[in-house]
């Protein structure tokens, strides 16, 4: 046995006595053949089982299963379905002083008013 073999053997023994893998130090520190074979069997079983579990996780990952299902359902909203949002970036009284904005606001108001009247007429005709 050469000096490097002795050093390697010493490192392996030091590792097996100090490792946090609990079965390995128990194999080396056991005093009876029964305890040593018990811990060897148990450690081998644990390593095989851990490897099997890792293999299952890798296979599951490689299958790229769909985990999330998104289903969109659209329902009719009861009249009136109106959302009022006050996130206007400019003030109304100042915007009305600009002719282009004032005209656009007037046209938009007319369209909304016309649309609302049409819906009200339809709603009223269904009620009777």
**Residue with the larger pLDDT of the pair 35 and 99:** 35
Indicate if the pLDDT at residue 30 is higher than 70.
yes
CB within 8 A of 41, min separation 6: which ones?
none
Cβ distance 39 to 26 under 8 Å? yes
- Given 63, 79, 112, the domain boundary residue is 63
Residue 84 forms part of a structural domain:
no
Cβ distance 49 to 36 under 8 Å? no
Residue 78 forms part of a structural domain:
no
Residues 39-51: pLDDT tens digits? 999 999 999 999 9
Query: In terms of residue numbers, what domain contains 120?
Result: 92-127
Name which of 45, 8, 43, 48 is nearest 29 in CA terms. Answer: 43
Residues 7, 49, single domain; the answer is yes
Q: How many domains does the chain have?
A: 2
- Given 18, 44, 63, the domain boundary residue is 63
Indicate if the pLDDT at residue 29 is higher than 60.
yes
Residue 75 forms part of a structural domain:
no
Residue 18 forms part of a structural domain:
yes
CB within 8 A of 24, min separation 6: which ones?
16, 43
Residue 17 forms part of a structural domain:
yes
For residues 119 and 125, give the distance between their C-alpha atoms in angstroms, rounded to a whole number. Answer: 10
Residues 16, 55, single domain; the answer is yes
Residues 98-127: pLDDT tens digits? 777 777 767 766 676 666 666 656 655 554
């Amino acid at each position: 046995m050469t000096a490097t073999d002795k050093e390697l053997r010493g490192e392996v023994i030091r590792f097996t006595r100090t490792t946090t893998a609990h079965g390995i130090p128990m194999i080396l520190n056991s005093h009876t053949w029964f305890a040593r074979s018990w811990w060897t069997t148990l450690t081998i079983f644990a390593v095989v089982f851990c490897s099997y579990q890792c293999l299952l996780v890798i296979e599951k990952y490689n299958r790229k299963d769909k985990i999330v299902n998104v289903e969109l359902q659209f329902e009719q909203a009861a009249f009136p379905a109106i959302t009022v949002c006050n996130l206007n970036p400019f003030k109304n009284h100042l915007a009305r002083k600009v002719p282009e904005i004032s005209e656009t606001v007037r046209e938009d108001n007319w369209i909304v008013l016309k649309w609302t009247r049409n819906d009200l007429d339809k709603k009223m005709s269904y009620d009777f």
